[in-house]
Every structure is written in structure tokens, then in C-alpha cells.
Amino acid sequence: MMYYPPSIRDLIKNITRLPGIGEKTAERLALHILHAPREQAQALAQSIMALKDNIRRCKRCFGLSDTEVCRICSNPKRDGARLCVVELPADMISIEKSGAFFGVYHILDGALSPMDGVGPDDIRIRELVRRVAAEKIEEVVVATNTSVEGEATATYIYQRLKDTGVKVTRIASGIPMGGDLKYVDQLTIKRALDSRHAI
Amino acid sequence: MMYYPPSIRDLIKNITRLPGIGEKTAERLALHILHAPREQAQALAQSIMALKDNIRRCKRCFGLSDTEVCRICSNPKRDGARLCVVELPADMISIEKSGAFFGVYHILDGALSPMDGVGPDDIRIRELVRRVAAEKIEEVVVATNTSVEGEATATYIYQRLKDTGVKVTRIASGIPMGGDLKYVDQLTIKRALDSRHAI
């Protein structure tokens, strides 16, 4: 890297900071950018800054958005009566990719974790309770992770909402599809057995 | 990808254009940039544009440089009497990395290839001849590739310079270090045998 002029060295250094990119790959990418058309390099540089400038949180669901209200919240075809609660924006993307949910979302931005000092006021529980009171919501689908923190958060949300008349559901946990029983951990197997249902 | 807001989608699309980066990796890098400190994203974007703005060819050796004359050509400790001729800037970097050459360079920007219509006037032969006449050069080390084109270019350079009194040498070809004879092609073995020397 020290054999390159400073401009190439700087770019290699900045690319190496990205996760999973070693110096060899960074060198290859920098040399590609060097020889690529100016427009392509410019488009890349501009989209990096546009991302930092434009992405904000949707003021309704707190998902990632370019606009004040995100595309899902402002889509009249989405079922506003079904509200899916997730920990992070990335979880919302995963559920969208499944194509199995047509309602709207609420991003908590975390999960309850007393050990780490994360209480109900540190995640967007208050905003959730407010939405349930203000919007015509029939069902709250709690899709927090199946970790200790995610489960605790789901239980807490149920406690907070149980007197509102809104149905609170939890996504099922069990053996992953295509999962091989001998590789699945015992807690998951126990949960799958406890939740067994008639075929 | 269609599940992301436009700003994230644009960045993923532009990252995917880089060689060897698939959509999954691009997604991971874009989300990293989204969550990275603004300064880090800015440094990356700026170094991309700085590269395109600043990198030019050294007016003496035609290597990559941020300045009119590159760091090697302007380094008084380099031996200006030894001139190494290479096809591309990347070849010069490889030789620099070896740490075995302390002279200066001349980048041809290609090799003779009559089949592709590349003649002596299409690569920097004229500039080479001019440098040999103008500078105090004792030895021209021809380090073009050992391909048909590189060999032809080396022979042509020897023909053009043989009456100038300057010594023209060619880098040795043979079995690569650590090379296993049974995996080395026959042409390389023939060349290695022809160039054998006393131990």
C-alpha cells in the first residue's frame, strides 16, 4: 500500500475500514475505481453521502425512510389494523422479505435488558402504547427476537396492552423450516414440542 | 433490495457495480455505512472523488502520481542511471513491492500487439527513446510481461536502443520461486533450462 500515491493510499485505507474487506480487496476496489468512468465513481460517492443525508426514521413506525412517513405507513393498501412490533429496522426488512405480512410496523429500537440498563423508557414502548390508543389497531403481532431479552419484551408488551382490548399475538417459535432435528438446540425442540398442534 | 428506502437501494446498486461484490455483500456494506459515524462515510466518499480528481500520470515516467512528477522520479536517492521499462502502472507497483530495484521507471501503457493494431506509436516507445537520449541512463531493464506481446516489445526496444550505447537487459524468466516443477508449463521449463547457469 505504501507504494501507491497518497490519493490511492487514502482510498484503500478508507475501504479497509468497511467490515469484511481486507487490504487486498480494498486495493483491488481502489484500482477499479481509479480506472472506472468518472460518472460511476461520482455516483458511488454521492450515494454514500445521500444515504447519510436522507435516511431518517419514519415518524409513525420509526422504520428507515427517505421521507417523513415511510412507504409502508403511507401505503393505503397496507392493513393498518395489524401492527407488527420488531426490535430493529433490519427485522422489519426480514419480515417484508418473507412476503407474509401486510400490516404496518412499530420499531422498538432495542429490547428490554435490565442487565444492560435498558428499561421500557429506553425503547419505544411509550410510543407503542400511544399508537394502540390512537390508531384503529385490532392486533399487535410481537415479533421481537426469541432471545431472553426479546421474550421479556414480548411479555412486557402483553402486560401493558392486555387491558386495551387489542389482541396481542406472538410469532411462533419452533424448528426452522428445512431444519434437521439433530442440529437444533434443546430449548428450540422443547418449545416446538410445547407448541405442537393437530395436523 | 426493493424493501429498502431509495437512498439505501441506490447505494446498494452502486456498490454492486464494484468487481467481486455481490448483492448480499453490498447490502451488508450499505447498512454498515448507514450506521457508521458521518465522518467515516464522508472520508470514504471524499477519498473516492479525491482519487478521480488528483491522480494523474507522472510527466516523466507516466506512473500514477498525485503530483506532476511522481515520488520515485523526484526522489534523489533513486538511481536515475537504471531505467526499468514496464507495461502498466500495476507492474511498477509489483516491482516496487519486491524491494529489489532502486532505479526509476518508464511505463509504456501497453505492449506491441500487431493482431490488436497496437504499434510502437500507440505505446510510449518514442518517449522512451527520447529519455534514453536526454537522461544519463546506463541501463534499460526491460520488465515487460513474458507473454508473446511482452517479448515482442522487449525485442523491439532492444532493436531501437542497441545503437545508443546504453545497456539493454531483460528480467530473467524461469521457474517461479517455490514453484513445483510438475505444475510448471513446458515453455517455462524450456526457458529455465536454456537460461541455466553455474551454481
Mean pLDDT taken over chain A: 91
- pLDDT tens digit string along A33-83? 999 999 999 999 999 999 999 999 999 999 999 999 999 999 999 999 999
Q: Do B48 and A41 touch (CB under 8 A)?
A: yes
Beta strands in chain A (DSSP E): 56-57, 64-65, 79-86, 103-107, 139-142, 167-170
Which among A8, A28, A54 is the nearest to B55, CB-wise?
A: A8
* B198: pLDDT strictly greater than 90: no
**A47 and B CB contact within 8 Å:** yes
* B113: pLDDT strictly greater than 90: yes
Q: Do B11 and A43 touch (CB under 8 A)?
A: no
Q: Say what the pLDDT of residue B122 is.
A: 94
Cβ–Cβ under 8 Å, residues B81 and B141: no
Cβ atoms within 10 Å of B186's Cβ, excluding its own: 7
Mean pLDDT of A101-115: 94
Instruction: Name the one residue in this structure whose C-alpha cell is 447505494.
Output: B11
Alpha-carbon torsion (A83, A86, A90, A94), positive or negative: negative
Q: Say what the pLDDT of residue B118 is.
A: 94
Cβ–Cβ under 8 Å, residues B85 and B137: no
Q: Say what the pLDDT of residue B41 is.
A: 95
- pLDDT tens digit string along B32-90? 999 999 999 999 999 999 999 999 999 999 999 999 999 999 999 999 999 999 999 98
Chain A residues in contact with B6 (beta carbon < 8 A): 66
**B190 and A CB contact within 8 Å:** no
Mean pLDDT of A153-175: 91
Write the CA distances from B28 to A85, A177, B33, integer angstroms: 23, 24, 9
Q: Rounded to two decimals, what is the model's pTM?
A: 0.76
Phi/psi region, residue B182 (left: phi>0; alpha: psi -120 to 50; beta: rest), is: alpha
d(CA A67, CA A61): 12
Q: Say what the pLDDT of residue A187 is.
A: 82
Interface confidence, given as ipTM, is: 0.77
